[in-house]
Amino acid sequence: MQPPRPASAARPLVLGSTSVYRRELLSRLRLPFTVEPPHVDETPHAGEAPAELARRLAAAKAAAVAARHPGAVVIGSDQVADLDGEPLGKPGNHANAVSQLRRMSGRTVIFQTALAVLCLDSGFAQHDLAPVRVRFRTLDDAEIEAYLRAEQPYDCAGSAKSEGLGIALLEAIESDDPTALVGLPLIRTCRMLRAAGLPVF
């Protein structure tokens, strides 16, 4: 039986993301990591389904950063709100957020959160999808306006932060990986990191 590998021998961990939400989520695991922007074009392809868009972008982000850090274990993730097969991206501004929330009012939206973990030197590569079904309450314009003025979630797919006041917009959330809706499915992340040789404990 071989002795435990010293911590210094562990591969570095890199989060390929510009998201403050993913950075905060990954920090909950108490693993040392660095953050690097992946610089990936997130434009959907013509006719691309939301789940496939999320998968492609998560893989592309991980690959872009792994190419610069081949010895590291790299995490890439992406989330696309799926309304009846149509991808809804980050609203970017108030008017777009109003439009998104009006469309989602009283509807069920699937937040497709994709995850990719790569290490080029070891040949490790795993990908997964953590869909989250979110049922929105029927919202009136006054509620939408009050919420957006309070939280300004213009950098969030679907125009709402479930971890904040946005929870008041919802009727139900169905998921097997609770942090997936915020942007990084930590149960799946832990499983992949263990498989890549970076146990959390």
What CATH number has the domain bearing residue 74? Answer: 3.90.950.10
**Mean pLDDT, consecutive 10-residue segments, the chain of 201 residues?**
44 96 97 97 93 97 98 97 92 96 97 98 98 97 97 93 95 97 97 95 88
pLDDT at site 2 = 40
Whole-number Å distance between alpha carbons of 14 and 4: 23
pLDDT at site 6 = 37
pLDDT at site 3 = 39
Answer whether residue 151 is part of any domain.
yes
Question: Rounded to a whole number, what is the distance in angstroms from the first to the last CA of the chain?
Answer: 20
78 classed as catalytic: yes
Answer whether residue 3 is part of any domain.
no
Give a three-class secondary structure readout of 24-77.
HHHHCCCCCCEEECCCCCCCCCCCCCHHHHHHHHHHHHHHHHHHHCCCCEEEEE
- List the beta bridge partners of residue 77: 115
pLDDT at site 89 = 85
Which of 41, 78, 82, 84 is flagged as catalytic?
Answer: 78
pLDDT at site 9 = 58
**pTM value?**
0.89
Q: Which domain holds residue 156?
A: 10-195
Answer whether residue 140 is part of any domain.
yes
